[in-house]
Structure 1
């Protein structure tokens, strides 16, 4: 029982963490080394240079240089000095790689001339790799000349196997040069990809901000048109109902019924707009936006609010069909014009809306006979306190490259003229 329980409660093989891949461990260690190099570059250079000096001194102390030397009787102090001269300048290999090669060049001449051929001479490949990795290619050619020239002179002047040393120098230089160029190309390509990703991310964020600002503007415009117009109609109906309550109760009841109808209509439109904005509303009401066919309903509601309105439509046979967006823009301009007339025209005013559609353009003329509101200039009553009325109409007009003119009439009242081109209007 005990063994069975322990087996059941013990960790299962599927619950154990999977071992990390070998490549991930290698990448983590490389990133740690790079982070240390960025934080402490001098410390890293000292450690690397110290290791190469140690190897050079060990090659001298153990006599390993004699296995490849042409003259095994070369002075040992000179061999030690050359080993240090090849390894110690590596401390500046990243900051001054060309200077390091220039310092090693005369040592390389002495190394070949004496026949010692210390193996530390191969450390010249390290600054050559740094030059291929960081400096322009013209410096790479000079570094190859500095490395191969002493060996070439030795092969021409001195007898023996100096030509083999020249070949080994050339092959070694070609290898580190190609390696440095490959690493440099990959690094530049990676940096270009990172820069491009950052730029695309910045552009994406900027486009998102612009889209959010445009959407806020559109929502504010729709809310203003919906709420402003319906509240103006409700206000007119309420004033008319209060006036008729004492003399004609039947008309007051009709006004109250119209107020209820207009309120429900406004509430329904408001719910549609807010339903689209809710993130959890997956089944938002997607009823069509108002079009030119709804102008009669709009005019009827304004008439019930107490403003006489006459709607006239002229359409030529060659007139094209209008897109839903353009029809919505015309509807909202007429709605805003009549709303402003209800708010500011004064008692006894009347309105005239004329819609003319030809093959080339669509013109809307909305005018009223009302005068200036008491105590205010004529230019105030159409902009409102915040100017959203005219600005909203101009924004809708600019979407279709149209023109909008609004201003007081010489005989009193106010006129709004909208003109929209139809050449590029999609069917």
Structure 2
């Protein structure tokens, strides 16, 4: 039974939406049908003599009764678009109807206009609408008394109150529905905007990861290839070592790229099998990183003060900043360049990393024009840190990158 009632309610609501949509597209069709119905009813009342049962003066001419019947019903055609104008148009006919004592029941059609005033116009319009409708009733009660005046006026006032209450109720429900629909639209727009922002942030994250993986490993491979080329003529063993290092670095780069692509495939296909992922680099991976850079021909010294107590995300940030700094040194440092890494940890979880090199600057800032420095700054900003990158002060040569991450705030 509950299912049947629910299905019936759903069917009625769907039919109601279709009718409202049709009426919104073709308002004149509904207005013509409703107006035609009431005009026909008024003419039947006139032609059938039904008005004689309630009239207070039977001696009025039939042409006047016909004119009043049309005057009180035809203007309803514009009741929705111009309800106040319709009420003013009907008012003279209502006055004549009251003055002559014909007392046509078509005068009650003014309640439809009251409904539309309450539905579409400010509430203050109901006061003068009530006055326009009540005045002819009082006039007829005075000229053609039939019992006490209260007997004529009070039912009319009650009818006006009911029509206004219905109009206000429908208006309140309509406004509430429109507010809910507007809120749903705004939530949908906000959801789409959030999705776009999330997609942009994800693209930026992927770009950083791709830059760090490819940029660093290609720089190491380039350095190894250059060293192997010079060593080939003098020391074939050194050339073989360089080729082995190139193969190892290439395989590592391919592994990291496959890991990143597996993550992307998992994010776009939630039902896909969970890929086997390798963990993101941490500070424990700094030693292998430095060894690869040294193998590529860049001497690197390290100074470490304290022991790290950082979350994985903060460790990844420090690792990537050092990796990018060494990559830029490999690219731009030139022959004879060396690098120095200083790491300092405090007891509260803050960390400071400084990477300096002795490269010969050619006037080009390492990492400018690409994703290098912007990527480092974005990573640093995620943890409220600061990043400084620029040439070392004169007379020193080279480049300096200084990273500071404050202590991690509890969530």
Per the normalisation by structure 2, the TM-score is 0.89
> Against the structure 1 CA distance between its residues 203 and 64, is the aligned structure 2 distance closer, same or farther, given a 3 Å change threshold?
same
1:78-98 Cα deviation digits (max 9, x unpaired): 222221111121122122211
Tell me, yes or no, if structure 1 residue 340 matches structure 2 residue 320.
no
Q: Distance in 1 between matches of 2:313 and 2:217?
A: 21
- Which shows bigger deviation, 325-334 or 245-254? 245-254
Conserved 8 A contact 1:322-1:425: no
1:122 matches 2:113: no
1:172 match: secondary structure: helix
Moved more, 115-124 or 43-52: 43-52
Match of 1:400 among 383, 394, 399: 383
1:242 corresponds to 2:225: no
Cα distance in 2 between the residues matched to 1:90 and 1:306: 94
TM-superposed deviation, 1:31: 4.3
User: For residues 107 and 166 of structure 1, what CA distance do their matches in structure 2 show?
Assistant: 18
CA distance in 2, matches of 1:184, 1:192: 12
In structure 2, what is the Cα distance between the partners aligned to 1:315 and 1:25? 73
Partner Cα distance (1:159, 1:283) in 2: 91
Aligned to 1:169: 156
Tell me the distance in 1 between the aligned counterparts of 2:8 and 2:57: 47
Superposition pairs of residues 284-303 of structure 1, within 5 angstroms? 284-303=275-294
Indicate the RMSD between aligned Cα atoms, in angstroms: 2.5
Q: Which has the larger displacement, 305-314 or 232-241?
A: 232-241
Deviations 1:119-169 (A, max 9, x none): 111111111111010000000122122222322344456421454332331
Report the CA distance between 1:201 and its aligned residue: 0.8
* 1:112 aligned residue: 98
Which of 358, 363, 372 lines up with 2:352 in the alignment?
363
Aligned partners of 2:334, 2:95: CA distance in 1, in Å? 106
Corresponding residue for residue 363 of structure 2 = 378
Q: CA deviation at 1:379?
A: 2.8
Assess if the C-alpha contact under 8 Å between 2:99 and 2:143 holds in 1.
no
Report the secondary structure of 1:379's partner residue: coil
Structure 2 counterparts to residues 65-144 of structure 1, below 5 A: 65-144=51-130
| Equivalent residue number for residue 13 of structure 1 | none
Q: CA deviation at 1:261?
A: 1.9
- CA–CA distance in structure 2, aligned partners of residues 416 and 91 of structure 1: 80
Question: What residue is the counterpart of 1:12 in the other structure?
Answer: none
Q: 2:261 aligns with which of 261, 267, 274?
A: 274
Unaligned ranges ≥5, structure 1:
1-17
State how far apart, in whole Å, the 2-side matches of 1:360 and 1:29 are: 65
Name stretches of at least 5 consecutive residues in structure 2 with no aligned partner: none
- How many residues in Structure 1 have an aligned counterpart in Structure 2? 400
Q: After alignment, is 178-187 or 162-171 more displaced?
A: 162-171
SS state at 1:322 partner: coil
Q: Which secondary structure state, in structure 2, belongs to the residue aligned with residue 137 of structure 1?
A: coil
Classify 1:188/1:111 alpha carbon distance in 2 versus 1 (closer, same or farther; 3 Å).
same
Residue in 1 aligned with 2:316? 328
Distance in 2 (CA, whole Å) between partners of 1:79 and 1:274 is: 87
Relative to the length of structure 1, the TM-score reads 0.86
Return the offset for 1:30. Answer: 4.1
1:350 is aligned to 338
Report if the CA contact (8 A) 2:98-2:139 is conserved.
Answer: no
Quick one: which of 184, 187, 193 aligns to 1:197? 184
